A and B are shown apart, each in its own frame.
Chain A
């Protein structure tokens, strides 16, 4: 009796332990090659692409995290990008990909320019030509280069092309420069000296040139002539130092509203109609997806914006879809990729309805030449006419897999100096170096 009782008591415990173990054979090979998985897992760090997938690809939007296409359920897993949280979670899942059950395997995941190399240069992604994505003739060259590994094997595609511009407030430009015409404003902002002169004029009128010193960071970092890591050592490019000079001067002269993070409440509050900042910086996705405050029906200022190239040509990111090795839905993965680069109807809709600058040159150019095409947000200006020109010069270079945290970290620690919390610029850079040393043991910091 006692033995029976103790046996019973121990039972739940043993069962729990058994329950913890993974089934021994998690990947039953599909019986025949054509049978593909019932679940397609998509990993993202925001809702931008997911929204397009729901609108232009899926048959049915089930809920915020679930779509249906034929018999296949498309599921979304999302982690925030900030601080590398998305990369972190994605790495763990990809390293576990081989042990995951077929329906839990990642099939398609998104990656940014700042760390795409990590995935393209690993076995976690696969050659998309082998699954049927072969026609890149319409895409922009840099988007293919960025998604290729060191040997030129293409591992994914982007649904957008991201030449970036100065996004300025028409009403403020009118007040400061006496014109809001993009060509005239471009002439006034044609280089950094001219930009600084306008900043002084804007201050006279009670405006600030930029919402935060971090707003111009990407222009400088994108024009860097060396990568963040050279021969395994941390390297701070001369152009980053130029950004520091500018930021320091802008804070001293009161040309900036804040010194905060560009995604924070401070900087984004400047997008409202009562904001006093003249220039924002970004590509098409920035003003259509990240400037929601400006589009606010009550407090926003829809139509009071326009774009021009600004002081320096640059581009910012792009979101790439990469095919995960081990996917059980290769056909659908390829189908999604082809849809967003080669399906003219979909690319057309992205440009027309979503204010995207798509990754299909034919479609983009068609709208660039269409004089009746204009963006409501930009007060009728044709963004494609500007972007099509800028897109010609994009080169994907000086990129490392460490860029996201280097860029975030440098801005954070330098901002402390701008805020007067560390004594010298040197101290701020040292704090940044210490951060990188802790974060990336593989980088030598001197």
Chain B
């Protein structure tokens, strides 16, 4: 009783302070390990700053010179970032198209109450598994499998399907296809599970009533599932695209860092990595990173706007 009498001293009790305390660790760590380096990247992009052997050159302020260099023609006669941006998008698309198609189909099958597939847990685990392998290890595996003396070529030659070993890792079509295939294999399980979660969050009653009204599966998909799945679908698409822009380990390992052949599988991050190789060119790498940041932001914005127009 005595305690209650003390209460009127403060007019209301606020617990918000606890909220701030609990989220503080994230913001502190984010600031130190992400935000500060990001600012530093922007800062470095205005400097000439690299290593020549063990000698550190710079940092020397050069204004927008690094950005100018980034947009200038190279000896081969093209602007590297434009070509590599094209490569990156193309490599993402050839992986993402089958990835989303298959993932959507699987998600529909698994969630369908009419099909009622048994052993779902098992299948879900299996399709997710490729994602657990490190991308570089996965790529290394493909590198060995598809070499001219690797098992795939041995199989093709001994079965008579090819007269002599095919140079899978030296030709544009096969290199790009392999990269697409690997990205597809690694990510379709993950996408399936996310889309399934999305579909399962839709009220089952809607499906039932549609079925009672005599809708076909196609009608149900386009008029009920897809519109209600949209928020999740956009999220999955954008994250996949951002992941695609950052594509690195698979093509890097498969082409030994050279984006063979003829730089047709060099992605933007591989280009960035070349700057950060032996010369640690923070200036140029910084400029490229800043550019990448804007590309990612703009692309995300466009996709978000177009899909979410309604």
Contacts and interface: CB of A to CB of B under 8 A. Distances in A.
A434 interface: yes
B163 to A, nearest CB: 14
Contacts of B277: 83-84, 88, 439
A265 B147 contact: yes
B76 A431 contact: yes
A266 B147 contact: yes
Given A95-B54, A122-B53, A439 B75 contact: no
A430 interface: yes
A9 B17 CA distance: 13
B76 A421 contact: no
Given A421-B171, A442-B50, A258 B148 contact: yes
B278 A84 contact: yes
Contacts of B227: none
B21 A9 contact: yes
A309 B271 CA distance: 42
A89 B275 CA distance: 15
A435 B258 contact: yes
Contacts of A439: 274, 277-279
B167 A91 contact: no
Given A91-B54, A95-B54, A265-B149, A445 B171 contact: no
Contacts of A434: 74-76, 80, 263
A190 to B, nearest CB: 32
Interface stretch (A42-50, A54-62, A347-355, A412-420): A412-420
Interface string A406-446: 00010011011001011000010011011101111110011
B54 A431 contact: no
B202 interface: no
B96 interface: no
Interface string A247-268: 0000000000011110011100
Contacts of A356: none
Interface in B231-288: 256-258, 260-263, 271, 274-275, 277-279, 281, 284
A118 interface: yes
Given A265-B144, A265-B150, A421-B171, A438 B76 contact: no
Nearest to B260: A416
Nearest to B74: A434
A119 interface: yes
Contact of A431 (B24, B32, B150, B262): B262
B52 A416 contact: no
Interface string B43-72: 000000011111111000000000000000
Contacts of B260: 412, 416, 421
B279 A442 contact: yes
B289 to A, nearest CB: 15
Contacts of B150: 265
Nearest to B22: A9
Contacts of A431: 76, 262-263
A413 B21 contact: no
Interface centre among B17, B56, B75, B148 (most CB of A within 10 A): B75
A372 interface: no
A296 interface: no
Contacts of B279: 439-442
Contacts of B298: none
Nearest to A257: B148
Interface string A94-121: 1100000000000000000000001101
B281 A119 contact: no
Contact of A427 (B56, B76, B171, B281): B76
- Size category, B interface: 35 or more
Contacts of B24: 10
Interface centre among A87, A441, A442 (most CB of B within 10 A): A441
Contacts of A427: 76, 262
A362 interface: no
A339 interface: no
A18 interface: no
Contacts of A83: 256-257, 277
A422 B262 contact: yes
Nearest to A434: B74
A332 interface: no
A441 B284 contact: yes
Contact of A266 (B21, B77, B148): B148
A405 interface: yes
A134 to B, nearest CB: 26
Contacts of B105: none
A409 B274 CA distance: 12
A266 B258 contact: no
Interface string B74-113: 1111001000000000000000000000000000000000
Contacts of A421: 170-172, 260-262
Given A118-B53, A266-B149, A434-B74, A88 B278 contact: yes
B19 interface: no
Contact of B170 (A87, A269, A419, A438): A419
Interface string B27-39: 0110010000000
B261 A422 contact: yes
Nearest to B153: A266
A441 B50 contact: yes
Given A83-B256, A269-B149, A445 B75 contact: yes
Contacts of A6: 21
B8 interface: no
A430 B51 CA distance: 24
A95 B279 CA distance: 13
B119 interface: no
A147 B52 CA distance: 19
Interface centre among A83, A124, A422, A438 (most CB of B within 10 A): A438
Contacts of A119: 54
A275 to B, nearest CB: 10
A433 B75 contact: yes
Interface of B: 17, 21, 24-25, 28-29, 32, 50-57, 74-77, 80, 144, 147-150, 167, 170-172, 256-258, 260-263, 271, 274-275, 277-279, 281, 284
26 contacts: A9-B21, A13-B25, A13-B28, A13-B29, A17-B32, A83-B256, A118-B54, A122-B54, A122-B55, A265-B148, A265-B150, A266-B148, A415-B170, A419-B167, A421-B170, A430-B77, A431-B262, A433-B76, A434-B76, A437-B74, A439-B274, A439-B277, A439-B278, A440-B279, A442-B52, A446-B75
Q: Kindly list the 10 A-B residue pairs having the minimum CB-CB distance in the complex, ordered from nearest.
A: A421-B261, A442-B52, A118-B53, A430-B76, A433-B75, A122-B54, A269-B149, A419-B170, A438-B274, A430-B75
